[in-house]
Amino acid sequence: MTQRIYNFNAGPAALPLPVLEEIKQEMLDFAGTGMSILEISHRSKPFENVLNDSIARVKRLLGLSEDYQVLFIQGGASLQFSMIPMNLAIAGKPLDYVDTGTWSTKAIKEARLLGKDVRVVASSQDKEFTYIPSEVPVDGKAAYLHITSNNTIRGTQWRAFPDAAGLPLISDMSSDFLSRRFDPNPFALIYAGAQKNLGPAGVSIVILRKDMLARVPKELPSMLRYTTYAENNSLYNTPPCFAIYVCDLVLKWLEETIGGLEQMEKINDQKAETLYGCIDSLGFFRGTARADSRSRMNVTFRLPTPELESKFLAEAGAAGLGGLKGHRSVGGCRASIYNATTMEAVRALVEFMKDFASKNG
Amino acid sequence: MTQRIYNFNAGPAALPLPVLEEIKQEMLDFAGTGMSILEISHRSKPFENVLNDSIARVKRLLGLSEDYQVLFIQGGASLQFSMIPMNLAIAGKPLDYVDTGTWSTKAIKEARLLGKDVRVVASSQDKEFTYIPSEVPVDGKAAYLHITSNNTIRGTQWRAFPDAAGLPLISDMSSDFLSRRFDPNPFALIYAGAQKNLGPAGVSIVILRKDMLARVPKELPSMLRYTTYAENNSLYNTPPCFAIYVCDLVLKWLEETIGGLEQMEKINDQKAETLYGCIDSLGFFRGTARADSRSRMNVTFRLPTPELESKFLAEAGAAGLGGLKGHRSVGGCRASIYNATTMEAVRALVEFMKDFASKNG
C-alpha cells in the first residue's frame, strides 16, 4: 500500500492529501466530461468554471476589492522579477527595492539588467540576511517599492509590512501566500509561484491593482504584458490548465475544509510555535534567523557540528521525515511547514528532534 | 464507472489512456518516494531522472546529434514567438518568415513588435491559408527562416520542408511534433507547445542547435535567454515538473508501446487516409485544405449548410464524439487526430459521418 512520508520540502512542497485524492479519483473523467482534466480544451465551459472559481476563491480569501484583478502567468516568480519592471517602471522615477536575500537579490538583478534605475533602500545583507529591516525609507518619487514577504532560504518573514504611504507596494509572496491574514489594500501587485502554498510548480498567481495597467508599455511582447492577461482573463493563449485546476482544489480545501485564512493562520502559528519552542528549549539546535524575524513557513536551524547535521538528516529521512536539508547555498537544516504540512507532521518532527538531541547532546 | 469519449480536441487534446492510468496509479506515491510527483523537489534525484529520461527519449526518437540541446520552457509557443527573435536575430540581417496563417501570422507580429526587420518571403494568404506555398525564396543574408509545420486552424501541413540551403531553419512544430519522421539536421531550432502530441498544457519543448547560443544577447532577462536554460539543464528556476513528467510518460509510450516514429507515422497516415477517404467519397462533406497541403493531424471540413454543421456537431457530441467544432475564427468542423487518437476513434467517427450523410444527404 501507499506509504506517505512527512514532507518538509521547501517547494515544490506537500499538498493536502484530500486534494491529491480528488485529482487521482477524477484523472480519467473530469466533471463528467469523459475526458481527463489534462485533455479538455482551455476554451471549454468546464475549464472556464475551474479558472473563474479559483479567481473567485482568491478574491474571497484575501478580501480583494473590485480594484484588483487575479491573473495566472507561467514562468514562475523568476519571470515576474523581469515583468514587474518591464510593465510598471515609469521613466525618470527610481525603482525601490528592499533586499532581504536571494530572491530579493535576484529581483534587483533582473530590474538592473533592464537598465532601470534601481535603488536598494534597505537591506539585511550586513548580517547575512538573518533579519528583516525595521526601517524602510519610503520615497514618493519612486515608481514602486518592492519587498519579498518571506525568505525561504534564510527563514525570515516580514511580520508586519512597511507603511508605503501611498507608494505602490509590490510583494513577492511566493512562500507565504495565503498563510495568514493581511490588509491587501496597500499593495499594487502581489505575486506568488504556486509551488509552496497554492499548488504545483508551473503557474504563478499575479494580483494586480487595475490602475497599474495604465503603466504597461504597448510595445512589450504580448506574453510579457500584464494587459494581455488582464484583457483575456489569462486565456490569451493556452494556460497551464492542470496547474490552475490543482490550485482551485487547494483553494477549495483552504476555504471549505480549513475554514479560511483566520483558521489557517491559527494552525500555522501553532505549528511554528511548536517547532521553534522545541529548538529554543532543548539547547541543542540553534535557530538561524533573528527571533523577531523568524518565518512561520520555513524554520531554519543548525546542529552543533556539520557531522551531526548529516547524521540528523540521514536518520530523519530513514524515519520518514523528508525534505529537511537546508538550501544548498547556506547548508544546515530547514523544515518548511506550509499550509498543507499538518500539525501531526510537526509533532512527529519534534518527537524525532527531542530523541535525537537526547542521544547526541 | 468511467465513461470516456472519443476526443478530437485540437489542444489540449487526447492523451494515451495507459499514460493517464499510470499518472492516476502513482498520484499519491511517485517512484517509492512517499510523495506525489506534485510534491517532490525539482532538485531531487527522482525528478532529475524524469527530466533526463524525457530529453534522452526526444533525442532518440528524432535521431538528434550531439549538436542539439533539448530544453523545457514555460509560456507556450506564444512566448517562443518573441524569444526567437530576441535571442537569434542578428543586427543588420532580416528575419524571414513564411506566413501559412494564424500562428505564423502571430509569430511575425511578435517579431515586428520587437522592432525587427521582418520579411514575409512566402504566404498563402491569397487563398485564406488553405495551402502551403510550394516556392520559398531562400536568402542567405537573412538571420533565419521561420516556418510553421502544421496549421491546426486551416488544416494544412508542410509535407516536405523547404530546402533552406544552410540558412538556419526554424519551425513551430506544436501541432505535429513527433507525429512523423523527418531529417532534423537543417533545423537550427524546433519548438512545440506540449499540449497536442507531447503532454499537457504548461510546457514547451525547444530543440536548439548549440551554435545558436552564440547569438544570445547577454542583456536579455534571465528567463528569456536560451543560454539560461541550456546552461542549467532547464533547472535555473523551478520548472513545470508535472508537465515534464507527463511528457516523459508520453515519450515512453511512443517509444515502447507504439515502437517509435516510423510506426507512429504509419498509424497517423492510416488514420488520416481513412478520414479523408470518407470525406472525399461520400460527396456530402467538403475538405477545406487543398489536397496537396492537407494536414494529417487536423482534418478540417464543411457540411453543405451551417444548419447541418450545427446538427452534425450536436449529434456527434451526443454520440460520444467530442471536440469536432472548427476553430472559432473559421467555423466548420475539424477532427484533430493527434498521436493519442486511436484508429478505433477514427473508425467510430467515419461510421458516424456515413450514417449522418445518408440521413441528411
**B282-294 confidence digits (pLDDT tens):** 999 999 999 999 9
Distance in angstroms between the alpha carbons of the first and the last residue of chain B? 37
Closest CA of chain B from A135, distance in Å: 30
Comparing C-alpha atoms, which of B247, B275, B258 is closest to residue B57? B247
Q: Give the rounded distance of the alpha carbon of B171 from its chain centre.
A: 10
A319 backbone dihedrals φ, ψ, rounded to 5°? -90, 5
How far B163 CA lies from chain A's nearest CA (Å)?
Answer: 30
Residues A330, B264: Cα–Cα separation, whole Å: 49
pLDDT given for residue B2 in this prediction: 59
Q: Which residues of A touch B76 (CB under 8 A)?
A: 74, 223, 237-238
At residue A250's C-alpha, the angle toward residues B38 and B35, to 5°, is 25
pLDDT tens-digit readout, B216-246 = 999 999 999 999 999 999 999 999 999 999 9
Residues of A in contact with B86 (CB under 8 A): 221
DSSP letter for A325, please.
B
Tens of pLDDT, residue by residue over B333-353, are: 999 999 999 999 999 999 999
Question: Would you state the CATH architecture of domain B260-360?
Answer: Alpha-Beta Complex (3.90)
Which residues of chain A are under the pLDDT cut of 70? 1-2
Cβ burial B37-57 (10 Å sphere, 16+ → b, else e): bbbbbbebeebeebbebbbeb
As a whole number of angstroms, the distance between CA A328 and CA A153 comes to 9
Tracing cell 521525515 back to the chain, one arrives at: A321
Q: What would the pLDDT profile of B125-182 be if each residue is shown by its tens digit?
A: 999 999 999 999 999 999 999 999 999 999 999 999 999 999 999 999 999 999 999 9
> If pLDDT is split at 50, 70 and 90, which confidence band does B361 have?
confident
Please report, for chain B, the start and end positions of each structural domain, with discontinuous segments joined by +: 18-258, 260-360
Check if A18 contacts B (Cβ < 8 Å): no
Which of A193, A201, A241 lies at the smallest CB-CB distance from B201? A241
Residues of A in contact with B313 (CB under 8 A): none
The whole-number pLDDT of residue B3 equals 83
Q: Which pLDDT score is estimated for A2?
A: 59
Q: Please report the residues numbered 128 through 167 in chain B whose beta carbons come closer than 8 angstroms to any beta carbon of chain A.
A: none
* Residue type at position A105: T
In sequence order, what DSSP letters do the residues of B287-325 get, joined into one string?
E-S-GGGB-SSEEEEE-SSHHHHHHHHHHHHHTTEE--B
Beta strands in B27-160 (DSSP E): 68-73, 95-99, 118-123, 144-148, 150-151, 156-157
pLDDT score, position A136: 96
Say which residues have a Cβ less than 8 Å from residue A174's Cβ, sequence separation at least 6.
A11, A77, A103, A150, A152, A191, A192, A193, A196, A204
- Could you tell me the pTM of the whole model? 0.98
The answer to whether residue B296 scores a pLDDT higher than 80 is yes
A322's enclosing H/E stretch is strand A321-322
Using the predicted structure, report yes or no on whether residue B195 has a pLDDT greater than 80: yes
pLDDT at A256: 98
How many other CB atoms sit within 10 Å of the CB of residue A115?
Answer: 10
Torsion angle of the four alpha carbons B264, B267, B270, B274, in this order, in degrees rounded to the nearest 10: -120
ipTM over 0.95: yes
Answer yes or no: A59 catalytic. Answer: no
Is A172 catalytic? The answer is yes
Q: What is the CATH number of domain A18-258?
A: 3.40.640.10
What is the bridge-based pairing of β-strands A204-209 and B169-172?
A: unpaired
